[in-house]
Chains A and B, each alone.
Chain A
Amino acid sequence: MSSAEFHTQTLMQLAKGLESGDFTAVELVEALLRRIEAHDKALNAFITVTADAALQAAERADAGRRKGETGVLNGLPIVHKDIFCTRGVLTTCGSRMLENFVSPYDATVVERLADAGAVMLGKTNMDEFAMGSSNETSYFGPVRNPWDLECSPGGSSGGSAASVAARIVPAATGTDTGGSIRQPAALTGTTGIKPTYGRVSRFGMIAFASSLDQAGVITRTAEDAALLLGVMAGFDERDSTSIDHPVPDYVAGLGRSLEGLRVGIVRQHFDAGLDTATGKAVREALSVLEAQGASLTEVDLPNLDLSVPTYYVVAPAECSSNLSRFDGVRFGHRAADPEDLLDLYCRSRGEGFGAEVKRRILTGTYVLSAGYYDAYYLKAQQVRQLIADDFRKAFAEVDVIAGPTAPAPAFRLGDKTDDPITMYLNDIYTIGANLAGLPGMSIPCGFASELPVGLHLVGPHFGEERLLNTAHQYQLQTDWHTRCPEGYV
Chain B
Amino acid sequence: MSAAWEVVIGLEIHTQLATKSKIFSGASTAYGAEPNTQACLVDLGYPGVLPVLNGEVVRMACKFGLAVNATIAPRSIFARKNYFYPDLPKGYQISQYELPIVEHGELFITDDDGNDKRIGITRAHLEEDAGKSVHEVYDRYSGIDLNRAGTPLLEIVSEPDLRSAKEAVAYMRKIHTIVRYLGISDGNMQEGSFRCDANVSVRPRGEDAFGTRTEIKNLNSFRFVERAINFEVQRQIDVLEDGGAVVQETRLYDSARDETRPMRSKEEANDYRYFPDPDLLPVEISKEFIDGVRGTLPELPDEKRQRFVAEYGIRQDDAAILTVSRALADYFEEAAAAAEAPAQAVANWVIGDLSGALNREGLEIESSRIAAKDLAGLVDRIHDDTISGKIAKEVFEAMWAGEGDADAVIEARGLRQITDSSAIEAIVDKVIAANPGQAEEYRAGKEKLIGFFVGQVMKETGGKANPGQVNEILKTRLK
Contact = CB atoms under 8 A, between A and B. Distances in A.
Given A321-B92, A365-B273, A369-B273, A329 B86 contact: yes
Contact of B278 (A318, A325, A329, A373): A318
Interface string A185-213: 00000000000000000111111011100
A321 B80 contact: yes
B281 interface: yes
A203 B82 contact: no
Contacts of A84: 48
A24 B397 CA distance: 84
Interface in B86-104: 86, 89-92
Contact of B91 (A203, A241, A318, A325): A325
Nearest to B146: A330
B342 interface: no
B279 A240 contact: yes
B50 A377 contact: no
Interface in A316-339: 317-318, 320-321, 323-327, 329-331
A98 interface: yes
Given A321-B275, A324-B91, A373-B275, A345 B84 contact: yes
Contacts of A103: 47-48
B276 to A, nearest CB: 9
Interface in B49-68: 49-53
Given A241-B279, A368-B273, A370-B271, A324 B84 contact: yes
Contact of B47 (A85, A237, A240, A317): A85
Contact of B275 (A317, A325, A329, A341): A317
Interface in A336-390: 341, 345, 365, 368-370, 373, 377
B278 A241 contact: yes
Interface string B23-45: 00000000000000000010011
A377 B91 contact: no
Contacts, number: 95
A488 interface: no
A309 interface: no
A101 interface: yes
A207 B48 contact: yes
Contact of A203 (B44, B49, B275, B278): B49
Contacts of B53: 240
Is chain B's binding surface mostly helix, strand, loop or mixed?
Answer: loop
Nearest to A324: B91
A135 interface: no
Contact of B48 (A203, A324, A326): A203
Contacts of A323: 91
A323 to B, nearest CB: 8
B460 to A, nearest CB: 79
Nearest to A378: B275
A82 to B, nearest CB: 11
Given A210-B278, A318-B278, A321-B275, A205 B48 contact: yes
A239 to B, nearest CB: 5
Contacts of A325: 45-47, 89-91
Interface in A72-126: 84-85, 91, 93, 98, 101, 103-105, 107
Interface of B: 41, 44-53, 80, 82, 84, 86, 89-92, 144, 271, 273-275, 278-281
23 contacts: A85-B48, A101-B47, A107-B48, A203-B48, A203-B50, A204-B48, A207-B279, A209-B278, A211-B278, A238-B52, A239-B52, A240-B51, A241-B278, A321-B91, A323-B91, A324-B92, A325-B47, A325-B91, A326-B47, A368-B273, A368-B274, A369-B271, A369-B273
In the complex, the 9 A-B pairs of residues with the closest C-beta atoms, listed nearest first: A324-B91, A368-B273, A210-B278, A211-B278, A325-B45, A204-B48, A206-B47, A85-B48, A370-B271
Given A202-B50, A239-B52, 18 more contacts: A101-B47, A203-B48, A203-B50, A204-B48, A239-B50, A240-B53, A320-B82, A321-B82, A323-B91, A324-B92, A325-B46, A325-B90, A327-B84, A327-B91, A329-B144, A330-B45, A365-B273, A369-B273
